[in-house]
Chain A
Amino acid sequence: MTWVNRLRLTLGILGVVALVAVLTLVFNQRQNQIASYTGAVEADKYTVGADYAGTVVEQDVEQGDPVRKGERLFVVQSLALKESLSNGLEVPDTDAYRVNAKHGTITYFAVKDGQVRELNARLGNSIAGGSLATIAADNRFVLANFKLVPRDYARVHPGSAARIRLADDTVVTGTVSDISATTGESGTVTTVRVKSDDLTRVTAALAAPGAPVSVTVALQDSGPLAGVSDAATDLLAKMGLK
């Protein structure tokens, strides 16, 4: 073999080794993150519930209205309540409602900032109790479903970094706050709750409850390439490529 060819062969092999090294880092990076197969923006919801049957005598909100904490929502006049009160029952006031013993009315208030999602009672309605309205809170979080092998399941922790890709491809960051798993027909589905303050700052429609998102969660890299991967990431970050 000529020396020129020997040199070429050696350089070529070194090139291949370098290529595989880069590909392996890419692979390791992927191994250390998991991608959701479904995900959606969610918000805390609460129901304004009536304990006593009666008549809605005042309605202060309409469907879709934003409400502030402490804002008055409904006033319900209830004979049953009046009777109970006159029998000596004492109903203490709470954040959610206040009782007027004289008129036999209950006034319902919003307990958190939010938006009226469902309105079940209107002025003049006679109600038997139950839900008057559902209010969605202003907080936003994401529930994402993953199909994970046991090994990866063990590597997701509360506090793990997550990237949320919204419908318009903008990415916001968040952290894992809760992990749960259910086993059904299609295997084990891991549901991860990701909280992100940034979600409230993006366009309302993109972060409306129910809006689809995809989530990538970083796993704890405990493999032999953890240090190398970090070094490569740092290098890329320093070069402004990442």
Chain B
Amino acid sequence: MRTHDLALVDDLNPETRRLQTRNPFSPVVMVLTILATTGVVAYSIFLLNPANRGDWLPYLLVMAAESILIIHALLAMWTIMAGSRSPRNDEYYLARRELFEGAHPNGAVQPTPKWPLRLDGRPVSVAVFITCYGEDVDVIRRTATAARDIWGEHTTWILDDGRSDEVRGLAAEIGVQYIRRLSSGGAKAGNVNHALSQVKTDYFCIFDADFVPRPEFLYQTLPFFTDTNVAFVQTPQSYGNLNNIVSRGAGFMQAVFYRFIQPGRNHFNAAFCVGTNVVFRRTAIDDIGGIYTDSKSEDVWTSLMLHERGWRSIYIPDVLAVGDAPETIEDYTKQQLRWATGGFEILFTHNPLNPRRPLSMDQRLMYLVTATHYLTGLAPGVLLMVPALEIFFDLRPVVLGTTLATWALYYAGFYLMQILLAFYTLGSFRWEVLMLSTASFPIYHQALTNAFSGKEQKWHVTGRAGRRSSPFNFIRPQVYLFTFLALTSVVAIWRDLNNAQLSLATAWNLTNTFALGVFVVVALQEVHRNRRPVATAGPSRALETPVLNPAFAGPSSTRGGLS
């Protein structure tokens, strides 16, 4: 019996057993997906029905925003339905059985980091890179130690762009290699490329400084490379720090992506790298001239380059590394801006529908989804303006004659079904996600302009040294919007009192004001926390938190990938 086969089930603990036996593509999920699709279609028909059309300005705004949301919802559900088959095939299991072939000294069953790795009967070499850029040394220690202890023979390298002597000392102390480069060009991609010029191994893994790999990382991923077309194997990002509103919102925002979308994209051969928790085939990266350096979202661009060269990508939804979600508004803003800019860059500079790109139709569609995904983040910004148009100008998206009940029925058909689907598939529905997505559109707007103009975002903030900068440096548009919505709500209530009837516009505007208000309160709390000189929270959270119900989430607060 192999005890190292991801034995998460602890004896007779029903919690872990339930998680292990859960079928993510259960028949109920399929039915819910079909029902949600029906709801989407019904809502589209309702909106498109000329009899319901109201004033053209708000109607066009609603149509534009809802079209993006609806199209993406349909594509997402299509992707989900496509992903029900595991990428692990017989060849994979055979390769895994032979991974530690002949490395069982004295009949030991628990693998160690010393056991040589063999693939297709040949020994293979692996390097594990930990990319650092000024992170806390305790965070790096946690990651580097875990990386060192991954089962199977490998070398571990700290790639330190932060140029910290303390980190160098740490590397020596725990017995891992240390690389520091003189320039810092190309950001993380440049850092990895620099390391690749010095470390020649058959395969290499990348972990962000805060992503702590589990020992079975290579055992689970490396056997895929028995297929010589596989360029990389990506695993999800799971978060151990879902302990505040921002990190929960940012974390759960990615949950559907990591649990359902990426597995679905496997079947389009368009699962992409998210910058960490990934293992690459060295020859594949050499084939495209190294990790792509011309974008801050080097991960998705590298994936795109590999797919254009015909390589295959694998995504497995098993949690093999746990990291930190952005905990502050600053980190969240920078993360979202980086990902969204990367997506829009594809849209503007590398349109995947262009017939000159050697991609399959499956891949074209999936990369189009990637390139336009953050337009869905802009949609809330457009929709936020619609109630104000009614309050101030009496302009309505649907005709006045449409009864509230009719509208609510179709609207619920779309949105409530989506929420129900999310609730059922993820086991919970997080209001933090709704709140954050309502408040995030200025970030995506900034990303769109940056990608269009090719400018790099400059933040007017004080340096990183010492106290953290105030979140209000990053969320001025949200503060303006909150002020606008709050004042508009006052006018709306006054209007309704005069007209002696509650209008839908007022209800929506109050809801939106509330969502933005929570966001501003979160920012105020952050300011409050920053004022108190409390020691930073312990670095060992991710290890202490049992990954019982792993929340797959986006890349870390360091330089991560694109969702």
Contact = CB atoms under 8 A, between A and B. Distances in A.
A and B held together in a complex: yes
A205 interface: no
Contacts of B491: 20, 23-24, 27
Interface stretch (A10-18, A103-111, A123-131): A10-18
B470 interface: yes
A5 B473 contact: yes
Contact of B479 (A13, A24, A149): A13
B499 A1 contact: no
Interface string A63-86: 000000000000000000000000
A5 B391 CA distance: 31
B392 A23 contact: yes
B350 interface: no
Contacts of A151: 498-500
Contacts of B469: 1-2
A27 B392 contact: yes
A16 B484 contact: yes
Name the residue among A15, A23, A26 with the largest chain B CB count within 10 angstroms: A23
A146 to B, nearest CB: 14
B487 A149 contact: no
Contacts of A13: 479-480, 483
Contacts of B476: 5, 8-9, 12
Nearest to A30: B394
A1 to B, nearest CB: 4
Given A5-B460, A17-B487, A149 B480 contact: no
B488 interface: yes
- Tell me the interface secondary structure of chain A in the complex: helix
B57 interface: no
Interface size class of A (residues with CB under 8 A): 20 to 34
A16 B483 contact: yes
Q: Which of A9, A19, A30, A150: most chain B CB closer than 10 A?
A: A9
A16 B393 contact: no
A225 B484 CA distance: 19
A4 interface: yes
A11 to B, nearest CB: 10
Contact of A16 (B473, B480, B495): B480
Contacts of A2: 460-462, 469, 473
B460 A4 contact: yes
A120 interface: no
A30 B389 CA distance: 13
A12 B498 contact: no
A31 interface: yes
B392 to A, nearest CB: 4
A9 B479 contact: yes
A224 B60 CA distance: 34
Classify the interface of chain B: helix, strand, loop or mixed. helix
A1 B470 contact: yes
A30 B394 CA distance: 9
B472 interface: yes
A48 B484 CA distance: 65
B500 A20 contact: no
Contacts of A27: 391-393, 491, 495
A149 B500 contact: yes
A47 to B, nearest CB: 40
B392 A26 contact: yes
Contacts of A16: 480, 483-484, 487
A95 B177 CA distance: 120
Contacts of B484: 16, 19-20
Nearest to B474: A5
B495 A31 contact: yes
A4 B488 CA distance: 28
Contacts of A12: 476, 479-480
A9 B472 contact: yes
Contacts of B462: 2
B472 A1 contact: yes
Interface in B446-486: 460-462, 469-470, 472-473, 476, 479-480, 483-484
Interface in A124-179: 149-151
A92 to B, nearest CB: 57
B393 A26 contact: yes
A174 B479 CA distance: 46
B495 to A, nearest CB: 7
Residue of B391, B394, B473 with most partner-chain A CB within 10 A: B473
Nearest to B492: A27
A30 B473 CA distance: 38
Contacts of B392: 23-24, 26-27
Nearest to A19: B484
Interface string A26-59: 1100110000000000000000000000000000
Return the 7 tightest CB-CB contacts between A and B, nearest first: A1-B470, A20-B487, A23-B392, A16-B483, A27-B392, A16-B480, A16-B484
7 contacts: A1-B473, A2-B460, A5-B461, A5-B476, A20-B483, A23-B488, A30-B393
Interface of B: 388, 391-394, 460-462, 469-470, 472-473, 476, 479-480, 483-484, 487-488, 491, 495, 498-500
Given A1-B472, A20-B488, A149-B499, 12 more contacts: A2-B461, A2-B469, A8-B476, A9-B472, A13-B480, A16-B484, A20-B483, A20-B487, A23-B491, A26-B392, A26-B393, A27-B391
